[in-house]
Amino acid sequence: MSRRARRITGALLPLGLVGVLIALTLTAVGAAQNEEEVARTVLQAACSGITTGAGAGDGTGTQQSGRWDSEQRDNAKVVIAVAKKRHLPARAAQIALATAMQESGLRNLGHGDRDSLGLFQQRPSQGWGTPAHVREPAYAAGQFYDRLVEVRGWRQMPLTRAAQKVQRSLYPDAYARWEKAAQRLLDDYWSSARLPDVPDDVGPAVEAGDTGGLLEACRPDGEDGGLPDVPAGKRAQKALATARAAIGTPYVWGGGNQHGPTHGGYDCSGLTQHAVYTATEGKTLLPRTSRTQKTAGRHVPENRMRPGDLILIDNDGNWGHVGLYAGNHRMIHAPRTGKTVEETSLTGYWERFPWEVRRVL
């Protein structure tokens, strides 16, 4: 063990947690590449226990009894405000709060496992956004909700299972112990008129497919009753992850091809060509322009589109724009000169123009 690893492990001895933490951690990181990585993971687990005030595995820590400080409560209010902005039910906010409690202790962390950051410990390298994005609580909450509402039957699932479908944690059962604490914060703030004002572009006005409570009738892991936002398949997920990884890359007219950015960036069709080519492992090469991508794949009615579909938009009389449908009435695209690749709501501006939806995955 290196000198630094010995110092880290030795520093944890007075905490009285080392025996339990090392046993748990060695199991979780048995495939870690070296002892330095194990030491870092032990330190993170110990610090997480101190930060959140959690008991030693029994879920009886101080914060589960409701003693959150002002910073933590402010972050909780943002999570709740984003859910309300999107007209999501309180259950969505409860799942998000419990997740943030487990992942960060409701703190906007600037560190974490590998490149994990923020309230939800989202990883920029895994397509959650840029480091700056995921450190923005409203954005991070919006990203969590984006993925939650794409989980079929999430409303009827146990909280820990719904959270795990989004987070894919090494500790899939850990979220359950925060369910009551999350409910208490909801009781405090859900009906409050003093929630923070979050940006309009954190999400669409309503959850996709949520009209008059129709989604409540969906069976937990069964058919979706024909609602438009069915979960993305594996190739669509990979295409979206590829596109999200490009968020922040400059728009360059004529930029990008199936292999990635060229001349320092992407234009709209260069981005979609790269995302689809990557998702299909080189089996599907889209035409290079948005106008020619309009005939790729097969036509899908707008009310049947699903994540990973192409959205062609006639904003210039010549079908001059294309993006990837990201679910929840959002699109990932390279907008125009002076902008960067972004994920944005389709509500408002883009609704002014004709659309053509093409299924290529």
Find the DSSP H helices in 179-226.
179-189
Amino acid identity for residue 196 in this structure: P
CA distance 218 to 138: 28
218 is catalytic: no
User: Of the listed 133, 218, 274, 321, which one is catalytic?
Assistant: 321
Q: In 3-state terms, the chain is what percent helix, strand and coil (to 5)?
A: 45, 10, 45
User: Of the listed 268, 274, 299, 329, which one is catalytic?
Assistant: 268
Which H or E run includes 236?
helix 234-245
268 is catalytic: yes
Here the tokens at position 175 are: 């979220």
333 is catalytic: yes
CA distance 129 to 246: 8
Here the tokens at position 57 are: 């595995």
CA distance 143 to 121: 12
User: Of the listed 133, 274, 329, 333, which one is catalytic?
Assistant: 333
Here the tokens at position 126 are: 């895994």
CA angle (268 as vertex; 266, 271 as ends), nearest 5? 55
Angle between helical axes of 268-279 and 234-245 (0-180°, round to 10): 140
If you compute the radius of gyration of the chain from its CA atoms, what whole number of angstroms results?
Answer: 22
Q: How far is CA 127 from CA 310, 348, 355, in A?
A: 18, 25, 26
Active site residues: 268, 321, 333
